[in-house]
Structures are given as C-alpha cells and as structure tokens.
Amino acid sequence: MTILVAGATGNAGAQVVRELLALGSPVRALTRNAAAARFPAGVEVVEGDLTRPETIPLEGVTGVHLLATAGDDYAELTTGPELVARVEKAGVRRATVLWSGSPSPLEEAVTASALEWTVLRPVDFMSNTLVWAESVRREGVVREPFASSRSALVHEGDIGAVAAAVLVRGGHGGRTYTLTGPEALTVPQQVATISAAIGREIRYVELTEAQAREEMLAQGRPPEVADFLLRWRRDMPAVGYTVDRGVEDVLGRPARSFASWARERAGSFVSAGGTR
Ligand SMILES: NC(=O)c1ccc[n+]([C@@H]2O[C@H](COP(=O)([O-])OP(=O)(O)OC[C@H]3O[C@@H](n4cnc5c(N)ncnc54)[C@H](OP(=O)(O)O)[C@@H]3O)[C@@H](O)[C@H]2O)c1
C-alpha cells in the first residue's frame, strides 16, 4: 500500500505526507536531494527527478501523488506522458495530480490513462501569505498590489487531507476537485486576519504592479514566476475567487478557514524561528 509523494518537501506535498501517515499508510517521499530533506519518522525517502522519469523508484508503489511543474521556476513538466507510462507499467493503481493553474501534459496523460486518477485543483495556498512574514516581523507592514482582488485561498493541510483520503480510501476515480477555503478574501481582509491572529496591528500598503514586480525580483523570484503571479492576481479567473465544495465533498467536513490557518502560523509572523 506504499504511496509515492512527489513534491514531498514542498508546502502541499509535506501535508500529503503528514496526512498519509495519519491514515496509517506507508509513504515514499520523493526529493531531488535526500540529504537536505527533513521528514517525520517512518517515511521512506528516495531521490528522483520528475524531468527524468526513469529515476523515480516505483517498485511496490500502489498510489502516486504527482505535480505538473518541475524546477524552482515552476516550469511545466514536459515528461508527463513518459512518467505516466512508467507509473502504469509499475502496476500503480491510483494517482492524484496537482493542477498548476493551467492544463498540462501530465494532467492530459493521467486523465487518458487506465489509472484510477483524480485531479486536484487547489487555488492560492494560504501558505503563500508567508511571503509577508518578514515585513510583518520587521515593520508591521504588508506591501501588495491589487487590494480589491479576492482569493478563495485554501489551507494546504486540506490539500494534503484530500489527496491522502483519495489515495488511501479510493472511490474518487475520474473526478476533478477544485479545492478552496470557505470564503474569498481581499488582501486587506487577509492582512486583518493575520493581524487578529498575532494581536498586533499590521499596516497594508498597496503597491502598483510595477513596484510589486520589482519587490518580487529583489526577493529572488525568477521573472517568469513574478509575471505569472502578477497576471494571476490582476486577471484572476473565476476559479480563483469562487468558493467550491471540493474539500467538503471528499472529507465530509468544511474546508478550514484562513483565520484558523493564521492562528496556527502566527509564530512565523512574530519571530523568525516561528512555526511554519
Ligand atoms: N502555491 C500555490 O498557490 C499553488 C496553487 C495551485 C497549484 N500549485 C502547484 O502546486 C505544486 C506544489 O506547490 P508547492 O507550493 O507545494 O511547492 P514548493 O513548496 O515550491 O515545492 C516544490 C516541490 O517540487 C519538488 N520538485 C521541483 N522540481 C522537481 C523535479 N524536477 N523533480 C522532483 N521534484 C521536484 C521539490 O522537491 P525537492 O526540491 O525536494 O526536489 C518540492 O518538494 C506546484 O506544482 C504548484 O504549481 C501551487
């Protein structure tokens, strides 16, 4: 019953690992650099690269959790068809695929396969707001563009719980679930929620798009990533701000709120060693 988790060191994948362990499933965590990775006890850590499917150890695996992007600039994974062929050949039964904001070769290959596949379409992760942690800690400020754009941001723990339930329990083959939180919030509403969680005032400063791009590049984001994020927020598609029942449909309980996420992660906005 081993489940292989790609992106296991990432925001969403770490939660998939955690939730699989909670369901009692053996987990094989994939990373490009095992020496740098930290996992809970009991996780089998393997090295492999999604851009080279032959490097992914699939022996004994019954389910896989896959990403549609690769590399630190979130480039589209072009080896999807090869990867899916190997997964099928290895006798894997179930697969979840994380949507990356647009259709991908991986998603196409998985949905055309004989696997019991499920596509998970999360909108903005709540953890994206951790990019504000440093300026909140240092200056009590959040600088962001597009004050009025709303996002139905999703708790990454809910993404993990949905993926684990689908992979372990089954019964969701051929389905696509859009994963959102329970409400769509503007940037100032998100800032106010974090402010309430840490018990400190946080000032919101609206940036122009050009200023925001400059800040993202100064933080080390690749230009393609900065442009993608700015375009997404400027021209947010309806899926980004429409609350969906996907989490509840799979888990039988409501999606977790941004207020609960902010309370869990309050430490990160207060001190550098705070909880993540
Ligand atoms: N953030 C959002 O709001 C959002 C919304 C919708 C969809 N998504 C999608 O969700 C996925 C996960 O996002 P995240 O924020 O959890 O990611 P993240 O924290 O940035 O982590 C990226 C993960 O991808 C792995 N990875 C990268 N290139 C790889 C390769 N060539 N081979 C194997 N593993 C590779 C990394 O593993 P190692 O470095 O350990 O090798 C790491 O675990 C991405 O595909 C993203 O596009 C994100």
* pLDDT tens string 64-105: 999 999 998 889 999 999 999 999 999 999 999 999 888 899
Spacing, Cα 179 to ligand 1 middle (Å) = 17
Contact 26 CB / ligand 1 (< 6 Å): no
- Report, as an integer, the average pLDDT of 17-39: 97
Q: Which atom of ligand 1 is nearest to the CA of 13?
A: 16
What's residue 101's pLDDT? 84
Query: What is the chain's mean pLDDT, rounded?
Result: 96
Query: Is the C-beta atom of 71 inside 6 A of ligand 1?
Result: yes
- Position 276 pLDDT exceeds 60: no
> Does any ligand 1 atom lie closer than 6 A to the CB of residue 69?
yes
Atom of ligand 1 at shortest range from CA of 51: 31
Distance 67 CA to ligand 1 centre (A): 7
132 vs 272, which has greater pLDDT?
A: 132
Alpha-carbon torsion (36, 41, 46, 50), positive or negative? negative
**Ligand 1 contact, 70 CB (< 6 A):** yes
pLDDT at 273 over 80: no
Q: Is the pLDDT of residue 210 over 80?
A: yes
Q: How high is the pLDDT of residue 74? A: 87
Instruction: Assess whether pLDDT exceeds 90 at residue 212.
Output: yes
Asked if 78 and 49 count as a contact pair (C-beta separation under 8 A), the reply is no
Query: What domains can be seen in the chain, in order of their start residue?
Result: 2-122+155-180+242-255 (3.40.50.720)
Q: Each residue of 257-269: pLDDT tens digit?
A: 999 999 999 999 9
Per-residue pLDDT, averaged over 41-69, amounts to: 97
Question: How far, in Å, are 49, 105, 153, 170, 205 from residue 56 at the CA level?
Answer: 7, 18, 31, 23, 45
Pair 181, 126: CB distance under 8 Å: yes
pLDDT at 239 > cutoff 90: yes
- Tens digits of per-residue pLDDT, 119-169? 999 999 999 999 999 999 999 999 999 999 999 999 999 999 999 999 999
Q: Look at residue 274 in the predicted model and tell me its pLDDT.
A: 66
Distance from the alpha carbon of residue 4 to the mean position of ligand 1, in angstroms = 15
pLDDT at 270 over 60: yes
**Could you tell me if the CB of 225 is within 6 A of ligand 1?**
no
Residue whose CA lies nearest to ligand 1 atom number 47 = 100
Q: Which atom of ligand 1 is nearest to the CA of 50?
A: 32
Q: What is the CA radius of gyration of the chain?
A: 19
Region 102-126 average pLDDT: 96
Ligand 1 pocket check for 100: Cβ under 6 Å: yes
Q: Which residue has the tokens 């990454």?
A: 156
**Mean pLDDT of the 207-234 span:** 93
**Using a 6 Å cutoff on CB, does residue 232 contact ligand 1?**
no
